[in-house]
Amino acid sequence: MSLKKINGLEITPTHSINQVRYGCTLGAMYSAAAIPGAIPIAHCGPGCADKQFMALAFYNGFQGGGYGGGAVPPSVNAGEKEVVFGGNERLEELIKATLKIMRGDLYVVLTGCIGELVGDDVGSVVSPFQQRGVPICYAETGGFKGNNFTGHELVTRAIIDQFVKDYDGKKEETLVNVWSELPFQNTFWRGDLAEIKRILEGIGFKVNILFGFGSKGADEWKTIPKAKFNLVISPWLGLETAKHLSEKYSQPFLHYPVIPIGAKETSKFLRTVADFAGLKKETVEEFIRQEEKEYYYYLEHFSDFYAEYWWGLPARYGIVGDSAYVLAVSKFVVNQLGLIPASHIITDNPPEQYREGIEKEFRSLSHDVSEEVIFVEDGYWVKKILENTDFGHKPPIIFGTTWERDTVKKFGGQVVEIGFPASYEVVINRSYVGYRGAFALLEKIFTAAISASA
């Protein structure tokens, strides 16, 4: 653990987690459910699946379960009998019953702790179905393996290896696979992925967005091997998948750690990707020109408010959340709004090997802003760090989660909920990224700031 000293606090391991900020490995059921037409099948005990639903898809923007999530997923509901005698037979029965009554284009079996501890050979149950041509795969997502980020890459890999399978045909010149936010964990993933797809299509790509409304589901996943390259837009999530794909289908990948927010970042992002893929410059620049024209039209009007209302606006910010949004939002508010950073707290527990890269991003947040970031998962430390941060004489803005509400109340700042759990937000398809999402974020930030005195 790269724990350390921050704001005079010595961060020591607490060996406990207060106020959870992610799901368990099995939470990746929601990665499966995020693929249109896919149905997760849970090989776990009673309660596990429901907990993931309530945490990730309910009290987190009230996103809802949709076709394959929520109350839908069939579960083995393993009990004493399955622990003692093994759960293979029960799972087989469940799969058969599922196929009878639920129409899915892709079924994903996810194992919970019980099956994996007693050594159920889920592969041997699933493979006969696969051999019969049923679109089904399985991922070993016992909760002890890590969080839902870990689970997400396990599920992704399972679908690729067992359902998409080998391919050595032609590549499609402009087709790209996008690996970015973690569905459902990121409260705004639906709107964000839609915006990312829109802008990439705008400059001439065909986009496999793979999750959410813009995805064509199982059929789209089948075309993954045809893509010319993989685009990872996140500080670390998706890199394992991209590495696997580069071996499996000889696809190169571009790692772009910063999910772009606002015209400056988004245009830079588009140019980088276009350059990597060798897209036609004219089309790219034309799209950027159009988008920026629209963007600055609105921003010009907003600038009256921003210039005149200075006395009532926050100057400093603190931010708590998943590395993807902590980095993306920080870049935006520092570079575009001139907010002053006070503390950056990352809680998605990125694998050790990616932490240095993330730290580096924060050291060059802007050409003249170098910041430190801290990795903690326990709400106890999040609270302590925020309480020990010097936010200056004005109430700060805190980008965080519902958990930060009580802490922030004490020192009188405003909370903008940007991540799990966002229980005081109702989110349908709002986006905070790209050209268009930036405005939603601005609206949210400043509505929160000025309504404090309402």
| Residue matched to tokens 């929520």 | 70
384 Cα distance to chain centroid:
26
- In 180-299 the beta strands, taken as DSSP E runs, fall at 206-208, 227-232, 253-255
Q: Is 128 in the site for other proteins (CB under 8 A)?
A: yes
Dihedral sign (CA 400, 376, 330, 25): negative
- 124 forms part of the interface with other proteins (CB under 8 A): yes
Stretch that binds other proteins, among 110-118, 273-281, 293-301, 385-393 (CB under 8 A): 110-118
**Closest CB 78 distance from other proteins, rounded Å:** 13
Question: Is residue 37 at the binding interface for other proteins, with CB under 8 A as the rule?
Answer: no
| 116 binding other proteins? (CB under 8 A) | yes
Q: Distance from first CA to last CA of the chain, Å, rounded? A: 43
Residue 448 interacting with other proteins (CB under 8 A): no
Which is nearest to 234 in space by CA: 284, 275, 196?
196
Site for other proteins in 148-167 (CB under 8 A): none
CA 154 – CA 299 distance, rounded (Å): 41
Of 294 and 352, the one with the shorter C-beta distance to other proteins is 352
123 binds other proteins (CB under 8 A): yes
Where does this chain touch other proteins (CB under 8 A) — which range of 17-25, 103-111, 115-123, 367-375?
Answer: 115-123
Minimum CB separation of residue 181 from other proteins in Å reads 26
Q: Closer to other proteins by CB, 353 or 451: give it.
A: 353
The partner residues of 392 in beta bridges, in order of sequence, read none
Pairing of strands 414-417, 253-255: unpaired
For residue 17, the minimal CB distance to other proteins (Å) is 16
Considering only the stretches 116-124, 203-211, 371-379, 392-400, report the one whose residues sit in contact with other proteins under the rule CB under 8 A: 116-124
* 57/160 Cα distance (integer angstroms): 25
CB of 45 to other proteins, least distance (A): 16
**CA dihedral sign of residues 64, 68, 74, 80:** negative
Give the one residue of 119, 282, 307, 356 binding other proteins; rule: CB under 8 A: 119
User: CB of residue 131 vs other proteins: minimum separation in angstroms?
Assistant: 9
Q: Tell me the residue type at 220.
A: E
Under rule CB under 8 A, which residues in 311-370 are in contact with other proteins?
352
Is residue 81 within the footprint of other proteins (CB under 8 A)? no
> Closest CB to other proteins among 185 and 349?
349
Task: Give me the phi and psi of 345, to 5 degrees please.
Answer: -125, 120
Q: Taking CB under 8 A as the rule, does residue 120 contact other proteins?
A: yes
The one segment of 111-119, 250-258, 302-310, 388-396 that binds other proteins by CB under 8 A: 111-119
Rounded CA gap, 344 and 333, in Å? 13
> What's the CA gap between 55 and 20, in Å, rounded?
9
Name which of 246, 22, 31, 70 is nearest 159 in CA terms. 31
Report if residue 204 touches other proteins, rule: CB under 8 A. no
The interface region with other proteins, picked from 57-65, 120-128, 314-322, 358-366 by CB under 8 A, is 120-128
Q: Which is nearer to other proteins, 37 or 357 (CB)?
A: 357
Q: Using DSSP bridges, classify how beta strands 253-255 and 340-346 pair: parallel, antiparallel or unpaired.
A: unpaired
Question: Which of residues 37 and 123 has its CB atom nearest to other proteins in the complex?
Answer: 123
DSSP H helices, 45-147, are 48-52, 80-85, 88-101, 113-118, 122-131
Among 19, 127, 336, 423, indicate the residue that binds other proteins (CB under 8 A). 127
Query: Considering only residues 5, 47, 54, 121, which one is a binding residue for other proteins as defined by CB under 8 A?
Result: 121
Residues ≥6 apart with Cβ < 8 Å to 57: 30, 33, 63, 64, 65, 69, 70, 184
- Tell me the closest approach of the beta carbon of residue 97 to other proteins, in angstroms: 20
**Binding of other proteins at residue 250 (CB under 8 A)?**
no
Give CA–CA dist 339/346, Å, rounded.
19
Cβ(261)–Cβ(328) below 8 Å: yes
- Residue 126 or 258: the one with the smaller Cβ distance to other proteins is 126
Nearer to other proteins, 159 or 445 (CB): 159
Residue 377 within binding range of other proteins, rule CB under 8 A: no
H or E element, residue 383: helix 379-387
Closest by CA to 37, choosing from 102, 105, 99, 98, is 105
Q: Which listed range, 62-70, 118-126, 188-196, 235-243, lies at the site for other proteins (CB under 8 A)?
A: 118-126
Collapsing DSSP to helix, strand or coil, 37 comes out as coil
Minimum distance from CB of 171 to other proteins (Å)?
22
Asked if residue 152 lies in contact with residue 238, where contact means CB atoms within 8 angstroms, the answer is no
Tokens found for residue 317:
């910010």
Applying CB under 8 A, the site for other proteins has a residue count of 12
Strand runs labelled E in 129-198: 136-140, 172-179
**Interacting stretch for other proteins, rule CB under 8 A, among 21-29, 123-131, 257-265, 334-342?**
123-131
Q: Which of 20, 99, 118, 315 is the binder for other proteins (CB under 8 A)?
A: 118
Question: Contact residues for other proteins (CB under 8 A)?
Answer: 86, 116-121, 123-124, 127-128, 352
